[in-house]
Structure 1
Amino acid sequence: MNAAEIIEEIQRLPEDERGKVIEFVRHQPNQETLEAMREPTEGLPRFETVEDLFEEMRG
């Protein structure tokens, strides 16, 4: 089944069922998010508290 066929099937669903599909899709990560999750984190600054982070951001 390809995307066009899936879309056609979704369009045939009752409104409440289409809403469930929309809710599911909204919570799927996009490509940019998936790539960001794979970025290395070694060497990034770490903070003990959010206040420490804000202090660093204030510079």
Structure 2
Amino acid sequence: LEKAKVPYVIVDSEDNPELVKAFGIMQAPTLVVVKDGSFEKQSNASNIKKFAEMMVQAKA
């Protein structure tokens, strides 16, 4: 994501329980993409990696 200059924020779930609840996060790691008021989430490392690669390719 850094290579493609896609903005992102890493959030600690213990420090931000309100975000965990708002996005229905059940496990870590979880990637949440927010756009235009809606969101999509991906859990588990392999799904996150594939999703991030797709985002990078789309941005290129």
TM-score range, shorter chain: 0.3 to 0.5
The structure whose Rg is larger is: 1
> In proportion to residue count, which structure has more helix?
1
> In proportion to residue count, which structure has more strand?
2
**TM-score between both structures, scaled by the size of structure 1:** 0.33
